[in-house]
Amino acid sequence: MGELVRLEVEDGVGTIRLDRPKMNAISVQVQDELVEVAREATARDDVKAVVVYGGERVFAAGNDVKEMADMSHVDMVKRSRPLQDAVTAVAAIPKPVVAAVTGYALGGGCELALAADVRFAADDAVLGQPEVLLGIIPGAGGTQRLARLVGPSKAKDIIFTGRFVKADEALAIGMVDRVVPAAEVYEQAVAWARQFAGAATYAVRAAKESIDAGLEVDLATGLEIERQQFAALFATHDREAGMRSFVDQGPGKAVFEGR
């Protein structure tokens, strides 16, 4: 259990909770603890899906600028990989991941939200990549994940200007997937995650890995990734149980064991 990042598990849902008052600035310590918590969420069989949450007030207002301000080029050469690794560790969790975005998700906080599979935002949430206003660029995946999510033109507009994106615009351009009243963000994110508590774990994992890996390659290679994942699922107990249940009882009644 980290000091600033912790994993809370209930009913199959693991919540990765950032808790660094007042604004959840993502310091070196937060980065390192994110990696450890993401590994724990990956390893635990009782975690079927994950919610990333910063609390009712703010998701994460960015990387710790005060900490970075004193870093030299050599310092950042050493630190830039762990910085990316912290966000990539969350993206690599082989389970459904939803970001519950309240308040501000800026800079590194926005990059952390982009690492989730889907994003639920409060109706008063504000997202953005304002790094250019500090004389730098996003360094934890923002230039890559945002462009893949909303397209290069919209990503360039947001990153070049460093402007803030309100929830309604974020929804319209696909930067977030659902906008809900602020008081309901976490509850709705947990409800979305909880639907996977009884899912066929390895099928969901295969689907996520096929989509994520396929986005990085040409169509023919992506189809081969899918073919191999599809065939491999015929070695699982859940595939057998799911098909047998369909034949005997019709769709939607299978009981999966995650093996």
Q: Which residue among 172, 194, 216 closes a domain?
A: 194
Tens of pLDDT along 135-169?
999 999 999 999 999 999 999 999 999 999 999 99
- 237-251 burial code (b ≥16 CB/10 A, e <16): ebbebbeebeeeeee
140 lies in the same domain as 213 = no
Q: Rounded distance, CA 44 to CA 36, Å?
A: 12
Please report where in the chains the tokens 């390192």 appear, as a residue.
32
Domain match, 221 and 183 both = no
Domain shared by 36 and 124, yes or no: yes
82 and 208 inside one domain: no
259 within domain boundaries: no
State the pLDDT confidence band at 94, using cuts at 50, 70 and 90. Answer: very high
The yes-or-no verdict on residue 113 having pLDDT over 90 is: yes
**Cα gap 118→100, rounded to integer Å:** 9
Tell me the CATH number at 221: 1.10.12.10
The fraction of the chain above a pLDDT of 90, given in percent, is: 92
Specify the CATH number for the domain of residue 144.
Answer: 3.90.226.10
Vertex 102 angle, CA 128 and 169, to 5°: 45
> Rounded CA gap, 170 and 165, in Å?
6
Residue 27 has pLDDT above 80, yes or no: yes
> What pTM was estimated for this model as a whole?
0.94
State phi, psi for 178 to the nearest 5 degrees: -155, 135
Residue 225 pLDDT greater than 90, yes or no: yes
Which strands form 104-106's sheet, in the order they lie side by side? 104-106, 126-128, 164-166
Residue with tokens 């369909």: 246
- Are both 177 and 63 inside the same structural domain? yes
pLDDT value of position 251: 86
Q: Which domain holds residue 185?
A: 5-194
Amino acid at 120: F
Q: For 211-231, what is the mean pLDDT?
A: 96
Using alpha carbons only, give the angle 31, 168, 120 rounded to the nearest 5 degrees: 45
pLDDT for position 250: 87
Q: Do 90 and 157 fall within a single domain?
A: yes
104: burial class by Cβ within 10 Å (0-12, 13-18, 19+)? buried
**239 and 137 housed in the same domain:** no
The domain total for the chain is 2
Whether 144 maps to a domain, the answer reads: yes
Backbone angles phi, psi at 196, to 5 degrees: -95, 0
Q: Which has more confidence, 258 or 209?
A: 209
1 has pLDDT over 80:
no
